[in-house]
Structure 1
Amino acid sequence: MLLTSYLLAGLAVLLAWPIPVALSRARWTARSPFAAMVLWQAIALAGGLSMIGALLFWGLEPLGSTLLDAADGSIKLLRGDAGAKTPGPIHIFALSTAALLGFHLVLTLIRAAWRITRQRARHRHILKLLTEESSANPGTLVLDHEIPIAYCLPSFTGSVTVLSRGLVQQLNADELRAVLAHERAHLEQRHDLLLLAFTSWNDALPWLPTSKLSLAAVQELVEMLADDVALREVTAPVLLRALLTVATGALGDPSGQDSSSLPSAGTGGAPTEELSSHRLRRLLTPKPALPRATQTLAISAAVLLIALPTTMLIAPELFS
């Protein structure tokens, strides 16, 4: 089990720094945001399993050479068997750290979900006072304000898309269809749940390079995925014009009009509408999608990343 602990620790180090840094700098991700998203999820999940597993196996090492032996040794220790081995202070510290880390990750996720749920409930209440239902687009609320705004408010009981009157007036029919398709993609693909997971990961381990890089990457990738859905209905120039109009509203009204009365779209864990340089370049100079074989290879690598620490945890004797 000691060798397995070392292997898991080495994998955790790789997933905490060099691998996420390399992926964050990769240029192919814009050509296949879905494969990149799967890889980021695998890195985060495998990294967490590796960190906890390395500490767990280090702590259990005195109790047995396998998980079954360690479980049997733990039972004997709890029963007060005179022949049972007793872990030393370092091993007890490792076991305690593994338990605390796992509890911390789960608690942070629950706390983030609770906070975001309350924020969205308050936001929805404000929208009821300031918006009206769109007669042309079901599930869309229109905010009576001149600043161009578009965002979505995810929910399990009735997600909505919010558009400002100023945006509707500035966009033509194709551009409006592009914005609605983009926001609908966020809601249908539940990008908010992906962002919730990575936001809580960043909240739990803000000092870890993986958490910062993964959150920034996922925020951009969900926008690219929504762009791809919109591009099935409109051309890239139409989508770009619509996104630029929305982006000007996110930056603020250049005319100096007061926007303090606008409800904040920052509901945590929800997609943003930031038009990054990568998204802008992707729409200005479109490149072909990655070959199917390359995408399959990337997804296979993600599966392998998750399978490796999982196998080590379930059957560590295979690596000993």
Structure 2
Amino acid sequence: MLAIAVILGVLAVALAWPIPVALSRAAWPARSPAVALGLWQAIALAGGLSMIGSLIAFGAAPAGSLLAAAADLIPAFTAGPMPAAFGVIQVAALTLAAGLAVHLGLSLALTAVRAERERRRQHQLIDLLSDPMPGEPGTRVLAHPVPLAYCVPGIRTTTVLTEGLVRTLEPRELAAVIAHERAHLEQLHHLVLLAFRAWHSALPWFPIANRAERSVVVLTEMLADDGARRTAGDAALRSALLRLGSGGEPGAYADTGGVAPDAEMLTARLARLDGGDRDGDAAPLGSGVRVAVLVASVALVAVPVVAGIAMLGILP
């Protein structure tokens, strides 16, 4: 059990700082944003499981397994006395693990509830203040002079454009913007970002949580750009981005309160359209590299899962 605690502790530390920092600074995610997004999700999930699992393994070590520790401690909590093998530090580790798990779970639930409330409010306001766009199902035009575009996810999805945006863009550019917003909805980017938003909300003092959320926002914008490129072409999307600048979208998605696009994100997106990432490489990652990253992502999550099974003491 102590060996499992050490392994998970080392993995948790690695996933809490050096690995996410290196990934956030790397140039290759722009070449294959879907693969990089999968890796970010694996890092977040494996990091949380490893952190909690390390504490549980250390706290349950005197009993030899988690099931044995539960058999010893649950009666002690209700009737006492505390088993002699468990000291204050073991009980504290188990308490901290339980508290952290509950805190992260509640943060995810609260973030989801708030997002759903905001989505409903947005839909109500949109229905009152906007008109359907002819020829574009699920798209509405808001009477506002500032050129803006955003999407509102949910059971009933809506793409919102302002009159200022419709007047500013050429038809091909407008088609690229609409395709970009629809790609956000079709690929369920709001759900991906929701988990990272909850992580950041639960651990606001944790620097990597903000870095991870920001990186995920950039990747989802790139994936949505790829959807727009397939529909309207690179030239139309690039022209639309240059016309709108970094203020064309008021936020990652209207319901999440996520990181707002800025000039740095716009530069990264334009670099891809101009034929490369910030290192000048435009080619997607090779199939071998993509497979290796996906295998690494699965392995990251598998380590704490297998360790958790081993902690139960049911493996031979």
1:33 aligns with 2:33: yes
Seq. identity, %: 44
1:303 aligns with 2:294: no
For 1:50, the equivalent position in structure 2 comes to: 50
- Gaps spanning 5+ residues in structure 2: where? 277-281
Secondary structure of 1:233's aligned partner: helix
Residue pair 2:246, 2:261 contacting (<8 A) in 1 also: no
Select which of 274, 281, 288 maps to 2:271: 281
Matched residue type, 1:298: V
Paired with 2:284 and 2:232, the residues of 1 have a C-alpha distance of 18
Paired with 2:97 and 2:253, the residues of 1 have a C-alpha distance of 37
Secondary structure of 2:136's aligned partner: coil
Residue pair 1:223, 1:271 contacting (<8 A) in 2 also: no
Residue pair 1:182, 1:230 contacting (<8 A) in 2 also: yes
- CA offsets per residue over residues 179-207 of structure 1, 9 Å max, x none? 11111110011100111100000010122
Residue pair 2:197, 2:258 contacting (<8 A) in 1 also: no
Residue pair 2:39, 2:297 contacting (<8 A) in 1 also: yes
Matched residue type, 1:123: Q
Deviates more, 1:144-153 or 1:23-32: 144-153
Matched residue type, 2:293: A
Select which of 253, 256, 261 maps to 1:268: 256
Residue pair 2:42, 2:300 contacting (<8 A) in 1 also: yes
Task: Report how far residue 167 of structure 1 moved.
Answer: 1.4
Select which of 192, 207, 218 maps to 2:205: 207
Residue pair 1:16, 1:209 contacting (<8 A) in 2 also: no
- The residue correspondences of 1:239-250 to structure 2 (distance < 5 A) are 239-247=237-245, 249-250=247-248
For 1:6, the equivalent position in structure 2 comes to: 6
Task: Report how far residue 97 of structure 1 moved.
Answer: 0.5
For 1:112, the equivalent position in structure 2 comes to: 111
Secondary structure of 2:141's aligned partner: strand
Task: Report how far residue 175 of structure 1 moved.
Answer: 1.2
Secondary structure of 1:167's aligned partner: helix
Select which of 194, 197, 218 maps to 2:195: 197
Residue pair 1:134, 1:142 contacting (<8 A) in 2 also: yes
Residue pair 2:141, 2:162 contacting (<8 A) in 1 also: yes
Paired with 1:251 and 1:124, the residues of 2 have a C-alpha distance of 17
| Count, aligned residues | 307
Residue pair 1:202, 1:212 contacting (<8 A) in 2 also: yes
Q: CA RMSD in A?
A: 2.6
Pick closer, same or farther for the CA change 1:170–1:54 going to 2, 3 Å. Answer: same
Matched residue type, 1:307: A
Paired with 1:75 and 1:163, the residues of 2 have a C-alpha distance of 57
- Gaps spanning 5+ residues in structure 1: where? 253-263
Residue pair 1:46, 1:309 contacting (<8 A) in 2 also: yes
